[in-house]
Amino acid sequence: MSKQVKQLDRVIIRFAGDSGDGMQLTGDRFTQESAVFGNDLVTLPNFPAEIRAPQGTIPGVSSFQVHFADHDILTAGDAPDVLVAMNPAALKANLGDLPKGATIIVDTHDFTARNLQKAGYDANPLDALGDAGSQLGEFAVQPVDLTGMTIEAVKEFGLSRKDAARAKNMFALGLLSWMYGRPTEPTEAFLAKRFAKVPAIRDANITAFKSGWNFGETTETFAVQYEIKPAPMAPGTYRNITGNLALSYGLVAAGVRSGLPVFLGSYPITPASDILHELSKHKAFGVTTFQAEDEIAGIGSALGASFAGQLGVTTTSGPGVALKTETIGLAVMTELPLLIVNVQRGGPSTGLPTKTEQADLLQAVFGRNGEAPVPVVAPQSPGDCFDAAVEAARIAITYRTPVFLLSDGYLANGSEPWRIPDVDDLPTIEPGFAEAPAVAEGETAPAFRPYERDEATLARPWAIPGTAGLEHRIGGLEKGDGHGNISYDPANHDHMVRTRQAKIDRIADSLPPLVVDDPSGEAKVLVLGWGSTYGPIGAGVRRVRKAGFNVAQVHLRHLNPFPNDLGEILRRYDKVLVPEMNLGQLSLLLRAKYLVDAQGYNQVRGLPLKAADLAQAIGELVAQAEGVAVDLTPTSSKETVQ
């Protein structure tokens, strides 16, 4: 049977099922296939905090969205073109996100009376498909007994019915892989490796995967196959990578480039634990991982390791930062290098453990007693977590200071193609330990001054135990300038408070100029963001530009100190829009420091911002600034925007 092949420039697919249905794995495999195929892509996993919420219920729904395209894209997409729903709850939970005309592939097997009831359906929505006024009438629904066909396909392996049914996610993956012309070899190789020790399960999964593909190819239900050509990308070797993996690699790289052993002191917490898991695999790089008894011991041990001359790192999320706060203050006072990685999640308190948010910015900048400045660095995309980690380490080591690295749940679990950097191109970081003074025969060494500062950086010496002649005591009490002994002198305290601040301010001198994306040079509106909003902001800006309007974009990597040219850039524009997944924390800082009328665009829904909403908000501001009506319909209708 010959099938029609239709060209598409981009597709958004959401795989949704029960927490136990393997949707994350399915989505991840589809992503890897798309990456190897050469599409640009962005992913958005979304799962409940409960490991196994009650089966078949709405709270138990887990989903994975992947957006892939033949061109450069920036977000996981606002609305799925295709929903794969493995049970009634998955259908119900995701229906509201679908645009008219979206395709829904439903596993009919689980649409039993009991499951329908658990999902809150009075009647089976699939029964009314052809009827006028059906709630699914606006969509192209494909009811398929995925589970039944899977069980049938794998019966030769003698698995229990339950185990056989578990391969249904691979059947679904096979079907979607056929629909979108994905390469199958990576997934077959993956399954062979993953289940190498249980041949029956391995063979069942591979068979289910192939059966899904074959089903798509042979059945008349699916008449069309889609083709999304590879996206043009800059030359280089790529891999798909999540933010937590890139951040872990960045920490390993920081160790290699500084020559320092990395010491991670950490306590498990969602969504940061994967960094602990990953780093624990890299002992061959001299990485020590210490799973401490609590968050406080996590950072305490890391600070102890820093005092000992290693690169101390602690990884956590917001609630953990709250506990680590006092030790961060000690690191500020003792002026030792330390990395604090906060993979932000919804707050306050326990909040939304598996959802994303950017509401810990002010906590990072200010959340300590006393005047305790701490540099803050934020990655803008999953792959960028690598470079941001190296940069945070550079600042920590060069300036002898704790540094916050603010990732978030979206970056942590989301993925994108990442151009693998050349190790030789990474910055070299110089620890520059203090050396014992040379003393001539018969002379006594001058007393070591642990708080004497480097003229350029204002950093103090890092004198590690084991160095004769540099024995000294540090601690949380105020230090006398230079000699570092306890000092309660009023003038000294004033001097030291200002000096610690000046040291952090000096970091700005080491930063490159900001990149201002203002192609026409005539924009009156600037959109300024930080962290994971980079994708949605960029996509929103593109839409506005495609509609023929001017808008400028700047994205901040350094939140403390701000780059030296930020104030001047802000003043160039009539309007400044600051989109954030909080109630306006960066806007507050900008308004306070630069006296600009920064306007917030704020959402705290635990999800990434939507490009369409942002485009709307930008458009409104452009209309105000330029006194024109703004219609966001692309000026050239054949051009595609996302």
Handedness of CA 18, 21, 25, 30 (dihedral sign): negative
Contact 334, 388 (CB under 8 A): no
Three-state DSSP string of 48-100: CCCCCCCCCCHHHEEEEEEEEECCCCCCCCCCCCEEEECCHHHHHHHHCCCCC
Tell me the C-alpha to C-alpha distance, in Å, between residue 627 and each of 51, 80, 620: 52, 35, 10
E strand or H helix at 602, and its extent?
strand 598-602
Within 8 A by CB and 6+ apart from 84, the residues are: 13, 14, 15, 16, 17, 105, 172, 176
CB of residue 564 vs another protein: minimum separation in angstroms?
32
Determine how many CB atoms are found less than 10 A away from the CB of residue 262: 26
Of 346, 335, 322, residue with least CA distance to 267 = 322
Parallel/antiparallel/unpaired status of strands 40-46 and 61-69: antiparallel
Cross-strand partners of 534? none
Give CA 83 to chain center in angstroms: 23
Q: Is the peptide bond before 271 cis (omega within 30 degrees of 0)?
A: yes
Handedness of CA 327, 330, 336, 340 (dihedral sign): positive
CB of residue 421 vs another protein: minimum separation in angstroms?
7
Give CA 51 to chain center in angstroms: 21
Of 83, 77, 87, 107, residue with least CA distance to 95 = 83
Contact 17, 173 (CB under 8 A): no
User: In which residue are the tokens 């003043």 written?
Assistant: 571
Amino acid identity for residue 620 in this structure: E
Amino acid identity for residue 339 in this structure: L
Contact 547, 633 (CB under 8 A): yes
E strand or H helix at 185, and its extent?
helix 185-194
- Pick 469 or 634: Cβ nearer another protein: 469
- Pick 293 or 639: Cβ nearer another protein: 293
CB of residue 11 vs another protein: minimum separation in angstroms?
19
Parallel/antiparallel/unpaired status of strands 402-408 and 338-344: parallel
> Helix crossing, 384-399 with 243-258: angle to 10°?
40
Q: Which two tokens stand for residue 196?
A: 């190498």
* C-alpha neighbours within 13 Å on the C-beta side of residue 430: 4
Q: Which two tokens stand for residue 552?
A: 């400028």
Contact 530, 358 (CB under 8 A): yes
Phi, psi of 386 (to 5 degrees): -65, -55
Tell me the C-alpha to C-alpha distance, in Å, between residue 354 and each of 110, 350, 408: 26, 10, 10
